Amino acid sequence: MSFEVSEKGPILRHVSVVVPGEALGGEEKKSLAALCKTTKLRGFRAGKVPVGVIRKMYGGKIRMEAVQHLAQVTLREVLDGIPDIIHMSPYRITNGQTEDGGFAFEVEFEVRPTIEATNYLGIEVAHTTESVSEGAIELELQRLQESYTTVVNVDGRDFIEDGDLLTVAYTTVVPGGPDRYTSADDTFEIGTDRFGFLGVSQALLGKKLEETVEVEVKESVESEETVRISVTPTAIRKRVVPALDDEFAKRVDGTVETLEELKAKIREYKEKELEYLRQEAIQEKLLLKLREAHTFELPLGYIAGRVEQEKVEQGQHLLRMGLPADRLPELLDNLDDTLTKKVSTNVQNGVILEAIAAAEKIEVGERDRQDYIERRAGRMGVQVANLRRRYSTPEMAEVLNQEVRQGKTLAFLVERAKVVEIEAPAEEKAKASCDE
């Protein structure tokens, strides 16, 4: 075997391989000998079929399989000596037969980009300062109230008030035609407009149980079409919202005694959440500046392969979530640009961070790996042991090392960055308080 590796760019390589006729002939002889022992033909004893007969019957198939086998074996031998291969295209036979009866093939592959990182310490990053507002705490208390709200039957009252939850039977009134909407047992809240019908609440307010009401209503705000429906309330219930007091606080969190203590814990949690988001935002801005300062050729073949893998994984997830299979291809095709941008950015970040890690001699220890797995398991909501098993193979162990090393490198850069905190304008603070 002989081969030649040539560079077609910073990361693209081309390999030409020639497999001699002697090697190909030897592989064919082994296959022929094996077939002679196992082939059964009328007129010949088992295992005694002549080689010439076997060659005439299966010679083309034997040669094709020998070529495929030798191409794979020799390609592995060639590529074993080349480090940092991240993507390889399928090999291609370049001619039918060499002069000595062998064959030649070629393949292209991409190697991991390498760069020399510069000017990465002390990068200035602007960040808008945010704080936990009273509105955010009140909103969280409202959310907790809703989660502890119960629904009870109303006894001793048969007329309908605002906020009541009704069990209703309803149907459209279409003389001589089919019912368009109908239900014998549905829930309707007075003060809202369900089913897309506008005006039902107003019609039922003040009416009594079992009193049937017919009302002409619009199907939606946009529609001019009206429909006449017949509605009969059959039961009244109401929501019981707990009071925001010390007893409520103790129900929510057994470690507190007062509502003020609960508010303090909510504030502490929100501040930690805000700090996490602050760190994420600073990291993203820092990485953007690093990408702008370090340009290099991207491995497009590798990126395309990763995009296809992501589409497969997302497709499987969507199918598990109940998406109809016939809608999947169009949906995944629409993700191409988004996924390509995401994978390309991840590749750029990884190359730059690995270059900085090498320059700063940032290493990964066992404690680093275990801490990373525990933190990630917490964020993903999975068992630590299950995540450890995921990283147990040699290939995934290297992925783990890369993830931990790049995370440590990013933290190293953030610590040394010049973060300029900017006070949020008053109007933005007001908007954030409302959004919360």
In DSSP notation, 378-405 reads HHHT--HHHHHHHT-SHHHHHHHHHHHH
pLDDT, mean of residues 220-240 = 80
Using the predicted structure, report yes or no on whether residue 434 has a pLDDT greater than 50.
no
Q: How confident is the model at residue 217 (pLDDT cuts 50, 70, 90)?
A: confident
Contact criterion met (CB below 8 Å) for 78 and 13? no
pLDDT one-digit tens code per residue, 192-207: 765 556 677 888 889 9
Of 427, 424, 412, which Cα lies nearest the Cα of 123? 412
Predicted TM-score of the model (pTM): 0.74
pLDDT given at position 176: 52
Query: How is domain 2-111 classified at the CATH fold level?
Result: Alpha-Beta Plaits (3.30.70)
**pLDDT at 194 (0 to 100):** 58
Chain length of the chain: 436
Q: Please state, for a pLDDT cut of 90, what percent of the chain lies above it.
A: 61
Q: Give pLDDT tens digits for 131-189.
A: 999 999 999 999 999 999 999 999 889 999 988 888 888 887 765 555 566 778 888 88
Tell me which of 157 and 43 has the higher pLDDT. Answer: 157
**Per-residue confidence (pLDDT) for residue 37, from 0 to 100:** 78
Indicate the CATH number of 249-435 among 1.10.10, 1.10.3120, 3.30.160, 1.10.238.
1.10.3120
Reported as a single tens digit per residue, the pLDDT across 236-261 is 999 999 999 999 999 999 999 999 99
Q: Max alpha carbon distance in the chain (Å)?
A: 103
Determine which of 81-85, 100-104, 199-203, 304-308 has the lowest per-residue pLDDT on average. Answer: 199-203
Query: With contact defined as beta carbons under 8 Å apart, do 18 and 2 qualify?
Result: yes
Rg, C-alpha atoms of the chain: 35
Count of CB atoms situated within 10 Å of the CB of 352: 24
| Confidence (pLDDT) at 219 | 60
Q: What is the pLDDT of residues 339-391, one digit of tens each?
A: 999 999 999 999 999 999 999 999 999 999 999 999 999 988 999 999 999 99
* Model pLDDT, residue 90: 93
Most confident of 34-48, 108-122, 224-238: 108-122
Please state which of the ranges 3-7, 56-60, 108-112, 398-402 shows the lowest mean pLDDT.
56-60
pLDDT of the residue at 428: 55
**Distance, CA of 402 to CA of 422 (rounded, Å):** 33
Q: Which fold has domain 150-240?
A: Chitinase A; domain 3 (3.10.50)
CA 110 – CA 8 distance, rounded (Å): 10
Beta bridge partners of residue 288, listed in sequence order: none
d(CA 120, CA 286): 9
Q: Is the pLDDT of residue 312 over 90?
A: yes
**What is the pLDDT averaged over residues 393-402?**
94
Q: In whole numbers, what is the pLDDT of the chain averaged over residues? A: 88
In a 3-state reduction of DSSP, which class is residue 417? coil
Q: Is the pLDDT of residue 96 over 90?
A: no
CA 434 to chain centre: 30
> What ranges do the domains of the chain cover?
2-111, 150-240, 249-435
How many CA atoms does the CB half-sphere of 129 hold within 13 Å?
7
Residue 200 confidence (pLDDT): 79
The average pLDDT across 14-37 equals 89
